[in-house]
A and B are shown apart, each in its own frame.
Chain A
Amino acid sequence: MSAQAIEIDGLTVSFGAGARQLFALQDVSFDVQEGEAFGLVGESGSGKSTVLNVLAGLFPSHGGAIRIGGETFGMRRSLPQRRLVQMVFQDPYGSLHPRHTVDKSLSDPAIIHGLDDVEGRVRRVLADVGLKPEHRFRYPHQLSGGQRQRVAIARALILEPRILLLDEPTSALDVSVQAEVLNLLRRLRRERGFTSIMVSHNLAVVAYMCDRVAVMNRGRILEIGAGTALAEGRFEHAYSRQLYRASSGYDRALLDELWEAR
């Protein structure tokens, strides 16, 4: 077995055919090491979320190969394969079933996978994500956005996945709540040592959370570098630098350059 937790080779996703074929992803390749926090940044339409969906097995078809822990993962996945990769979605208001209590949302996956001591697991994972026992039998509409996102994280973690996919986990939250959730994710990663891939349009968040970052644009990976390099603006590609400057605040000079360039 290799030390690579995830190997993605030549991933391609397209819609339509012939001259009208549109590529959502074109020849995307990267590796993520065991225990590493990997980030994908880009603007809308860059394909960053598509990468996550394909990895999660939620996409009907794709070209290229995905190997997780040395094993090839296809479109149809076995239960143990599913258990290995879990995901936290962007919108905490849309990712929890409105008619299911927190308890049901958390125990259902454990029951599907036939885990023992469901009761104990639910209690432990709730405590782990910083929720109190009193939250356990609430419905999503009785929780705040931050609490819902904690439930969504707990739902992913109850299966003890080796890989956690994070699709803009804080972009729908207020900044003060975002800080809490980011702290939580960092702590959980420290304690549990899972591998993670985080997708975000927010450069600062990705740079803060990830060891290595890939910049994506129009379905391709432009470059991959260390999170610290991204934070300091030491990326090579012109698009990455532009993204960096645009993320640094309102910058009139950059804008005039952009307009000139068009």
Chain B
Amino acid sequence: MSARAWLLSDQPASRRQASLGNWYRNWLAFRANPLAMVGLAIVLLLIVVAVLAPVLPLQSPIAQALGNRLQPPSAEHWFGTDELGRDIFSRICFGARITLTIVIMVVAIVVPIGLLVGTVSGYVGGPLDIVLMRITDIFLAFPRLVLALAFVAAIRPGLESAIIAIALTSWPPYARIARAETLTLRETDYVRAARLQGASPLRILWHHIVPLCTASVVVRMTLDMAGIILTAAGLGFLGLGAQPPLPEWGAMISTGRDYLLDQWWVATIPGLAIFAVSLGFNLLGDGLRDVLDPKRA
């Protein structure tokens, strides 16, 4: 039996086969969407470049060569050099590591907090729900970039502060989504059946509600990724994110704006990188939504 037939079998013989088969069917559906595949390719490229940057035969992203400054794109410097003579291609590749770090860290902080606050608030209800939701409202009331700015300014500028600031300002919408879904899921017959059978609230949350909320939270997260990358770039642009000489894309645009008219590549190339990655995440998110939407039969 081929692997494909094994995966698509409608008579799976174990939980593992059933679950893998389900993933495979989702993958088939996802694969049928060309735009989503473009998004996936961009995101994969980001990951590959970020992981391999140190071992690729790149020039140093921070070594200055002042005799070589502001060179236009050429065979030697594919994307040209910046105002300190650093190779922009190399800086973009190393910058991918920073972008990826931000993305992973924000997801690692935001998704658990959002899911936890949202599902508990929605399932338990009562005074706890009110308290948690008002806290969420407070965070929601601040514009993301402004709160991030205040936060970074209060601690100290740097990549870690930027990540924490973004995470702190990003979780409330996820808590809201998770809560709204939980409120509907709580009244479904399958959750009532689980209650009837004596499942503890913890078990219901973890086994029944979280798996269904996760899909929409992950989809929303992917769609929001563009905003997060842009916020990070914005902080970098304002000098409050990653500090020089780190090759953060936003900071690169910031320094490049002085040369925008005569040496366009210095600011434009990192701008394009931000654009491409944001677009990639958006397309990926759209594709994931079509496949994972729990309302789909």
Contacts and interface: CB of A to CB of B under 8 A. Distances in A.
Contacts of A94: 188-190
Interface residues of B, number: 28
A112 B18 contact: no
Interface of A: 56-58, 77, 79, 82-83, 85-87, 89-91, 94-101, 103-104, 108-109, 112-113, 134-135, 137-139, 141-142, 152, 155, 159
A57 B196 contact: yes
B200 to A, nearest CB: 8
Interface in B175-191: 188-190
User: What does DSSP make chain A's interface, helix, strand, loop or mixed?
Assistant: loop
B189 to A, nearest CB: 4
Interface string B57-84: 0000000000000000000000000000
Contacts of A137: 11-15, 17-18
Nearest to B197: A109
A56 B188 CA distance: 15
Contacts, number: 78
A64 B162 CA distance: 59
Contacts of A77: 198
Given A87-B193, A101-B12, A138-B18, 19 more contacts: A56-B196, A86-B197, A87-B196, A95-B189, A97-B190, A97-B208, A98-B294, A101-B15, A101-B18, A108-B197, A108-B199, A109-B197, A113-B197, A113-B198, A137-B15, A137-B17, A138-B10, A142-B10, A155-B197
Contacts of A155: 193, 197
B211 A108 contact: no
A108 B17 contact: no
Interface string B267-297: 0000000000000000000000000001001
B156 interface: no
B203 interface: yes
B243 interface: no
